[in-house]
Amino acid sequence: MPNNRIVAEQRILNLKRRFVREPSFHKDYIAFMNDLIASGFVERVPDTDLKRSDDASSAVEGDVFGLNGQIEHKLAFLRKHVPRETSLVLVGHSIGCYIILDMMKRNPELKIIKAIMLFPTIERMAQTPQGKVMTPVLCHLRYVAYLPLFLLSLLPEGFKACLTKLVLRVIRSMDHTVVQPTVGLLSGDCAANAMYMGGQEMKKVLERDNMTIEKNLEKLIFYYGATDHWCPVQYYHDIKQDFPRGDFRLCDKGFHHAFVLDAGREVAKMVFEWIKGDLRT
């Protein structure tokens, strides 16, 4: 099984908040769990087991939601669950592209045969048009947003879903399957963790890692947006000039940086066409 510690911790936090909101539910929950324990269907986890941590969790224990912690978590997952001889095709989006490059740098023995970089935020994030707006918010003002986010997380799920649809209605061809995951992101803890990592991205994603790109150039496909405020077209021209032998593509289909909101299927089909040859090897 994959390491789901982050998911489990998020769920227990959500459960604790519900206990506070609904004391009767808390009472019923305790009674139900005591019945299960008494019947022998479940048993308490020994304290010694609670103190143990596997490789994937211990690798990021100090800063699990930070940029470095996320990179180490992915590497630890591969070490623990994927045989070393396995060929890998990695697909990254936005900061995920930075994470892939750093994984290549930290563990060059990974058998990566292809890495797809979609709308890559791999350099000078704070200097981009969107970065200039978000850097003060994510680095200096995010604590101000925690209280309204917490209050928002207390709203009924149905109301949050309606609110999400209202905000996203400006997207003409929105994929409605994204509504529920977006509602999940409105959890106070989830939003706070995302803002924390966003702040780290503004501070740490500075110069492009040209050395790692050069070493892995034949494995990389970069796909830049034509109107991407997180990754301006100039970045596409710069990297293409620096690496004339590289595979750099500029979107001509009108896809946005957050393409999952309205063009997830189209992008998935496009990427599959790029990698299907590698998948047969």
Give the residue numbers annotated as catalytic, written as ranges: 94, 228, 257
Do the Cβ atoms of 166 and 269 come closer than 8 Å?
no
Do the Cβ atoms of 8 and 64 come closer than 8 Å?
no
Residue 225 DSSP SS3:
coil
Residue 250 DSSP SS3:
strand
Question: Cα(255)–Cα(273) distance, rounded to whole angstroms?
Answer: 17
Place of tokens 């800063």: 63
Question: Cα(25)–Cα(32) distance, rounded to whole angstroms?
Answer: 10
Question: Cα(203)–Cα(124) distance, rounded to whole angstroms?
Answer: 9
The CA-atom distances, in angstroms, between 278 and each of 92, 114, 281 are: 16, 7, 5
Question: Cα(130)–Cα(256) distance, rounded to whole angstroms?
Answer: 13
